[in-house]
């Protein structure tokens, strides 16, 4: 999902004045309601959810910027907009300074991963203070939007390239290491990396409180194999690994985890 595709021009307001944080949140709710896709959700509902989120901690993260957001069970799509407040408004910001630029997000309660992606994308796009100042000083919404979109050259779609899994294999048994590694060679998987590790005992043994708990200070074998592979090969990989190790759930010297990445692209060499 590209940020540029969910940033609604009709939800952008410039040169607005607010006399309090409460008024600003009401203004955000009203701006969000400009999106026809929120027609079935009342402005009051959006405001109450914004207020409830602020009660958990301010979304005014400093440098004159706030990103209030509202997660609604009844929302089916994301609405992103922003409001410029040239005179500033007190927003309980972390640095104690007034807020001059208010970005906002209204979206489905269940879309946590996308929420994080959108929040991150907005915050990263506002790192350049000179651009932020230009947005705040913009004479109209078209100019403000143009300045912001100029920061989105690296805006990428996260709807593609998700047909892979990340397989992490933590090994404390040296006998398994090469046979397990060979599983992925046989499967012609190229996205394989090996990381050296240490067990926590090697560090705890050096602390006075835990001295003497481990009499054998020799380094225990500890490696992690990280594999990026096609989803349709994952079950076959696990089957072949268990041919080497036996049932993984019965072992005390290895852990296997599988992650489904939100976005992944690129390749590694063996």
**Active site residues per annotation:** 69
Closest of 57, 167, 137 to residue 69, by C-alpha: 57
Q: What is the CATH number of the domain that holds 49?
A: 3.40.930.10
Q: Which of 126, 149, 172 is the C-terminal boundary of a domain? A: 149
Enter the DSSP assignment of 37.
Answer: G
pLDDT at 202: 77
Verify that 214 and 191 share a domain, yes or no.
Answer: yes
Q: Is residue 154 part of a domain?
A: no
Domain span holding position 65? 3-149
Q: What b/e sequence results for 80-109 when a residue is b if at least 16 CB atoms lie within 10 Å of its CB, and e otherwise? A: bbbbbbeeebebebeeeeebbbbbbbbbbe
Verify that 115 and 197 share a domain, yes or no.
Answer: no
Q: What is the pLDDT along the chain (270 residues), one digit of tens a residue?
A: 577 778 899 999 999 999 999 999 999 999 999 999 998 999 999 999 999 999 989 999 889 999 999 989 888 889 999 999 999 999 999 999 999 999 999 999 887 778 877 887 788 788 889 999 999 999 899 999 998 888 764 444 444 456 889 999 999 999 999 999 988 877 878 789 999 988 877 777 777 666 656 665 556 899 999 999 889 899 999 999 999 999 999 999 999 999 988 777 777 765
Q: Please give the structure tokens belonging to residue 188.
A: 């012609």
Verify that 137 and 187 share a domain, yes or no.
Answer: no
Q: Is residue 264 part of a domain?
A: no
Verify that 178 and 221 share a domain, yes or no.
Answer: yes
Q: What is the CATH number of the domain that holds 251?
A: 3.30.70.120
User: Bridge partners of 108?
Assistant: 72
Verify that 67 and 106 share a domain, yes or no.
Answer: yes
How many domains does the chain fold into? 2
pLDDT at 161: 52
Verify that 115 and 204 share a domain, yes or no.
Answer: no
Q: Which of 89, 119, 149 is the C-terminal boundary of a domain? A: 149
What is the C-alpha separation between 175 and 178, in angstroms, rounded?
Answer: 7
Q: Is residue 73 part of a domain?
A: yes
> pTM for the full model?
0.60
Q: Which of 149, 177, 197 is the C-terminal boundary of a domain? A: 149
Verify that 26 and 129 share a domain, yes or no.
Answer: yes
pLDDT at 158: 44
């Amino acid at each position: 999902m590209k940020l540029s595709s969910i940033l609604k021009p009709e939800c952008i307001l410039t040169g607005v004045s607010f006399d309090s944080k409460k008024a600003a949140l009401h203004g955000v709710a009203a701006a969000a309601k400009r999106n026809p896709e929120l027609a079935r959700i009342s402005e009051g509902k959006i405001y109450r959810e914004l207020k409830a989120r602020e009660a958990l901690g301010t979304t005014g993260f400093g440098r004159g910027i706030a990103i209030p957001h509202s997660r609604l069970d009844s929302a089916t799509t994301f609405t992103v907009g922003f409001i410029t407040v040239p005179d500033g408004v007190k927003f309980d910001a972390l640095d104690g300074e007034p807020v001059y630029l208010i970005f906002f997000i209204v979206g489905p309660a269940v879309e946590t991963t996308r929420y994080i992606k959108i929040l991150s994308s907005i915050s990263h796009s506002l790192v350049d203070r000179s651009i932020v100042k230009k947005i705040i000083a913009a004479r109209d919404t078209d100019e403000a939007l143009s300045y912001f979109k100029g920061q989105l050259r690296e805006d990428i779609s996260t709807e593609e390239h998700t047909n892979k899994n990340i397989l992490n294999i933590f090994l404390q048994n040296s006998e398994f290491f090469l046979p397990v590694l060979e599983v992925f060679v046989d499967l012609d998987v190229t996205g394989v990396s090996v990381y050296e590790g240490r067990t926590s005992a090697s560090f705890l043994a050096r602390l006075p409180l835990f001295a003497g708990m481990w009499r054998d200070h020799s380094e225990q074998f500890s490696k992690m194999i990280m594999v990026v592979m096609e989803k349709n090969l994952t079950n076959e990989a696990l089957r072949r690994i268990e041919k080497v190790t036996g049932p993984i759930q019965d072992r005390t010297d290895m852990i296997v985890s599988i992650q489904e990445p939100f976005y992944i692209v690129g390749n590694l060499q063996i």
